[in-house]
Amino acid sequence: MKKYRVAIVDDHGVVRMGLKFTLGLFKDVEFVGEWATGEGAADFVLGKNPDVTLLDIRLPDKDGLTVLGEILAADSSAKVIMLTTSSLEEDIYRSIKMGAKGYVLKDRDTENIVKAVRAVAEGGTFIPEDIKAIFKAREAEPELTATESEALILLAQGLTNKAMAAKLCISEDAVKMRLKHAYEKIGVSDRAGAIAATIRKGIAKPDGVV
């Protein structure tokens, strides 16, 4: 029987234990190792050379998307499934754009994880329809520039235009222009709407998202 070799990168011990138990119920899946931090995760994955890696987006010391980039930069054929609680637009969009082959929410049926492993290991993808819809909607939006995203993040942190100007070493008029362009792209008309959209989309991360 063909076995799919799976590695796990997740900082929660209980999650790793649950995944190992779940994977152990299926004879065609073989657990090959686990890692708990972002630092060293890419080297761990490359060393284990699994058929599929289950990678969390929120890691304590390094963003999981950074780890995804490191893995794929070293081995473009690596197959990674993002396994997370985050349904934020930006996380979904960036994961799939960067090359993740699957996106599975942790609170879904555990059989979905195995279905995803099998599909991705066989060269396919596993993106549930609701996740795919979020990705397509985000993809249809105009792309924010790095400076526009930065302005929105500072806005969500509660900074005034004057404070942003001082932090970014630009004029208040330049701050207003960046925010104006950002508002147009994310479809809002005021500060409160921009803050809500920035958090909802995942441009700035709310507390408690793991």
Residue 205's pLDDT is 63
The alpha carbon dihedral of 173, 160, 149, 146 has a sign of positive
Angle at 89 between CA 83 and CA 91, to 5 degrees: 40
Where among 114, 139, 164 does a domain terminate? 139
- What does the pLDDT look like over 142-199, one tens digit per residue? 889 999 999 999 999 999 999 999 999 999 999 999 999 999 999 899 999 999 989 8
Tokens of 74: 């070293």
Q: How confident is the model at residue 42 (pLDDT cuts 50, 70, 90)?
A: very high
pTM assigned to the model: 0.80
> Is pLDDT at 209 greater than 50 in this prediction?
no
Q: How far apart are CA 155 and CA 53, in angstroms?
A: 35
Question: Domain residues for 183?
Answer: 146-201
What value does the mean pLDDT take over residues 95-119? 91
Q: Where are the alpha helices (DSSP H) in 25-145?
A: 41-48, 64-74, 89-98, 110-121, 129-140
- CA–CA separation, 86 vs 170, rounded Å? 34
Q: Which of 139, 174, 191 is the last residue of a domain?
A: 139
Domains in the chain: how many in total?
2
- Domain boundary (139, 159, 183) is at 139
What does the pLDDT read at residue 210? 35
